[in-house]
Amino acid sequence: MKNIKTSVLLSVLLNLLFNLSWGSDKSPVVVVVNSELYPQIKESIDTYIADLKKEEYTQVFVLEWDNKVDADVDKLREVLRNYHEDFSIQGAVLIGQLPYAQGEIAEDQDSVRGPVDTYLMDLRRDAFFKDWHNYVIVRRSDGIHLDIWVSRIWAPNDGKLFLGVSEADLIKGYFEKNHLYRSCQFAVPDLKLKFVGSVNRGTKGNSYIEFFSSWRNWYHYIDESGEPSEYLEFVKNNPAQYLVFSSHSNSKRHYFDKAGSGEEKWLDSKNISNAQIRQPFVLLHACSACKFTDSESLGHAYLFGPNSGVLAIVGNSMWGNLRNIQFMYSNGSNFGSNSVSYFNYYGPDMMIRDKENRIMWENTSFACTLLGDGTLKAYVDMDWCQDRSLL
C-alpha cells in the first residue's frame, strides 16, 4: 500500500513540476506535409491550422516537403533544429510520407530494428551515432534528452489494411474527427482511465494493475484468460478518455494467452481496423505496435479505422515497452509536451543489461513513437463541452 500511495503522490507532484517547467504548450509548432499529398488534403490542413489559431497557438508554420527529392532524415532534423533555435518551436506534426531514421538497439541486432523518431526530437546533443549501414544507435544510456516532440500522421496504404481507400482519404478522415474533438462535438462521457489487455508478464503485469487501480479505481482489466473478442467488445462498450493496452505484440498482432495455458491467440490489425474503438487517447504497452513504416501496423489500424475514435497514440516502434507512459496524457498540457517532459524525467531506459551483460529489451524505450496530433489535450472540460458524443 505504501508503494501505491507513493506512486499516486509522485504523479501529482510530477504534473505540477512539468506544467511549471515546460512553459506554455501554446508555443510555436511546425506542420510538415508531404508535398505530393498536400494538394489533396489542403482543405483539411487549413481547417486544422484555423483550429490551432483559435486555441491561441502563437505561431503555426506549414512546410511542404518533397520526399521523393529529399528523403534524408538528417536534413529534416536540421530544419527542425533551425525552427527550434529561431522560433522556439515546441514540436512538429509530420503528415504523410516524410524522412525517418532507422535504428537498432545495438549494432547488428537485426531482429530489433525499426524507425526511431527520438532521433528527430533530440536536436542538440550527440546522443546517437550511425553504424556502417547507417542505422541509428544510442551512444550511451543517459544520452537522450528531447528538445521537441514529433508526432506522425501517416497512412501508408497498399490495400492490405484499408482496401479501396486512398492515403489522402484516410488522413482527411482523421482530421475530420480531430476537428470535431476540438469543437466539442466529439466529447467523451467520462474521464476514467481504462486499463485493459492481456498482461502475462508475471509480477510486472501485476504491478501495472496495482498502480492503475490506485487511481480511484480508474481501470478495467481483462486478464490473460481473456479472448480477443472480449477486448473488441470492451473498447466498444466502455467509452472513455483513455485506453491503456498491455500485451505481447508484434507490429501487426496483439497476443492473448488463455489462462497461461500456452494456448496462443492473436488479434491482428485487420480486426482492430474494423473495430469500434471509443477511446480517443491510447497508450500501447505493446512491442512494435507503432512501427509506422509497416503499412499493416497496429498503430495505423487504431488511428485510421473507419469506426475508430482514436486521435493520439503513444507506443513503441521496436521491441520493448515504455515506462510510465500514462503520464504522457496528464491533464494540463498537450500530449506532445507531456511526452517530452516525462521522457526526459524518466530517461530512455536504454541498454539496461542484466548480470550476464545481456540487453534487457523490456526496458528499451528510445523508440518512443507518437502517432496522431501532438497538439491535442487529453483533458476535456465536460461542463463546457456539450456531450454530443460521436464515439
Burial degree of 185 (CB within 10 A; 0-12, 13-18, 19+)? middle
* Any domain includes 59: no
Q: What percentage of the chain's residues is helix, strand, coil (to nearest 5)?
A: 35, 20, 50
| Block residue for cell numbers 494540463 | 332
- Write down the pLDDT at residue 238: 77
Per the CB < 8 A criterion, the answer to whether 374 and 91 are in contact is: yes
* Any domain includes 113: no
Report the predicted TM-score, pTM, of the whole model to 2 decimal places: 0.84
What does residue 54 show for φ and ψ, rounded to 5 degrees? -65, -30
- In this structure, what C-alpha cell is assigned to residue 113? 530494428
* Any domain includes 75: no
| 202: pLDDT strictly greater than 50 | no
Per the CB < 8 A criterion, the answer to whether 272 and 303 are in contact is: no
| 27: pLDDT strictly greater than 50 | yes
- The residue-averaged pLDDT of 233-243 equals 81
Q: What is the DSSP string of 250-281?
A: -SSEEEEEGGGSS-EEEEEHHHHHTS-B--SE
* Any domain includes 122: no
Q: How confident is the model at residue 195 (pLDDT cuts 50, 70, 90)?
A: low
Question: Where are the alpha helices (H) located in 22-62, listed in sequence order?
Answer: 38-54
* Any domain includes 220: yes
As a whole number of angstroms, the distance between CA 172 and CA 161 comes to 17
User: pLDDT exceeding 90 applies to what percent of the chain?
Assistant: 39
* Any domain includes 170: no
Per the CB < 8 A criterion, the answer to whether 286 and 255 are in contact is: no
Please choose, from the candidates 190, 249, 187, 253, the residue with its C-alpha nearest in 3D space to the C-alpha of residue 220. Answer: 190
- The residue-averaged pLDDT of 3-15 equals 37
For the stretch 283-336, pLDDT in tens is 888 889 999 999 999 999 999 999 999 999 998 898 776 655 666 776 567 889
* Any domain includes 302: yes
- Write down the pLDDT at residue 185: 66
As a whole number of angstroms, the distance between CA 218 and CA 143 comes to 35
- In this structure, what C-alpha cell is assigned to residue 299? 498503430
N residues, the chain: 391
Please choose, from the candidates 325, 337, 338, the residue with its C-alpha nearest in 3D space to the C-alpha of residue 283. Answer: 325
For the stretch 104-161, pLDDT in tens is 766 655 557 889 999 999 998 777 777 766 778 766 555 678 999 999 999 998 889 9
C-alpha distances in Å from residue 28, one per residue of 22, 81, 82: 13, 13, 13
* Any domain includes 69: no
Number of domains composing the chain: 1
State the residue range of the domain holding 217.
2-17+182-372
- Write down the pLDDT at residue 120: 95
Q: The CATH number of the domain where 237 resides is what?
A: 3.40.50.1460
In this structure, of 36-45, 77-86, 326-335, the range with the lowest mean pLDDT score is 326-335
- In this structure, what C-alpha cell is assigned to residue 195? 486499463
